[in-house]
């Protein structure tokens, strides 16, 4: 009911751009371009957690991109799921002949966070991305296979090692989803990668259930993760 009311409110009330505040539109052309106007790139945090699969991101995290992600996640601007889904779809790995359909598996949010926000932002973006990919002829589907098996501390403010320790062993594949994750290649999806700890733990959980993780896609990652790595 809360999500329905938010969607109706966004249609009726005048909006300001979630990225830059320009009046009259929920997302202006410039901020939309900041999300989707560049080719997705391979990203890697430093240090990189063990088990992290290859990750692709649509945009560097900061400025307008940060504002749009926060507006969707924390302020319930649900109409932003469309452009955020478009950005995520662009970061999903390219098609490999004979290897689809793929499963897009969202990194799970804590139940208390979903209850507080009134929606699951990562799952909503994943569904929008999957719809776009299917319209482009790619038979992907979203499978919310992962769940938290124990409580974890709030990740915000924790350094990389503490995040990894906080999440170690915290996720599992829900019993009914185990057979499904073994049936098709898995692409992990999230709105934001920071240290990579959540993606690494998600990958471990899928592999433990017998699934194959072929990569991960996120809307945004820190600018430093885009930096070219020095050669040997």
Residues 91-138: tens digit of each pLDDT: 999 876 566 789 999 998 877 766 676 778 999 999 999 999 999 999
pLDDT of residue 51: 93
Pairing mode, strands 55-60 and 213-221: parallel
Exposure letters 130-139 (e unless 16+ CB within 10 A, then b): bebbeeeebe
pLDDT of residue 76: 83
Is the pLDDT reported for residue 155 higher than 80? no
pLDDT of residue 162: 59
pLDDT in tens, 6-19: 444 444 445 789 99
pLDDT in tens, 31-88: 999 999 999 999 999 989 999 999 999 999 999 999 999 999 988 888 999 999 999 9
Identify whether the C-beta of residue 61 lies closer than 8 Å to the C-beta of residue 195. Answer: no
pLDDT of residue 11: 44
pLDDT in tens, 173-182: 988 899 999 9
Q: Exposed, middle or buried: residue 114 (CB in 10 Å: 0-12, 13-18, 19+)?
A: middle
Is the pLDDT reported for residue 89 higher than 80? yes
pLDDT of residue 143: 96
pLDDT of residue 13: 47
Record the pTM. Answer: 0.86
pLDDT in tens, 170-209: 688 988 899 999 999 999 999 999 999 999 999 999 999 9
pLDDT of residue 24: 83
Q: CB count, 10 Å around CB of 1?
A: 6
């Amino acid at each position: 009911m809360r999500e329905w009311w938010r969607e109706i409110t966004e249609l009726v009330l005048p909006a300001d751009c979630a990225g830059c505040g320009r009046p009259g539109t929920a997302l202006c052309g410039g901020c939309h371009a900041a999300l989707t106007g560049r080719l997705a790139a391979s990203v890697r945090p430093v240090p990189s957690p063990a088990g992290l699969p290859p990750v692709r991101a649509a945009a560097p995290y900061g400025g307008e991109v940060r504002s749009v992600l926060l507006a969707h996640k924390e302020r319930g601007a649900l109409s932003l799921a469309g452009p955020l889904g478009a950005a995520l779809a662009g970061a999903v790995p390219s098609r490999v002949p004979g290897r689809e359909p793929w499963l897009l598996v969202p990194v799970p949010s804590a139940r208390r966070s979903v209850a507080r926000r009134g929606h699951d932002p990562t799952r909503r973006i994943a569904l929008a991305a999957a719809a776009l990919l299917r319209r482009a002829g790619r038979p992907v589907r979203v499978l919310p296979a992962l769940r938290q098996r124990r409580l974890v501390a709030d990740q915000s403010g924790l350094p990389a090692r503490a995040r990894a320790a906080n999440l170690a062993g915290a996720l599992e594949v829900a019993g009914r989803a185990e057979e499904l994750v073994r049936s098709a290649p898995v692409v992990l999806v999230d709105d934001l990668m920071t240290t990579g700890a959540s993606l690494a733990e998600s990958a471990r959980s899928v592999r433990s259930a017998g699934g194959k993780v072929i990569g991960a896609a996120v809307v945004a990652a820190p600018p430093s993760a885009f930096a070219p790595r020095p050669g040997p």
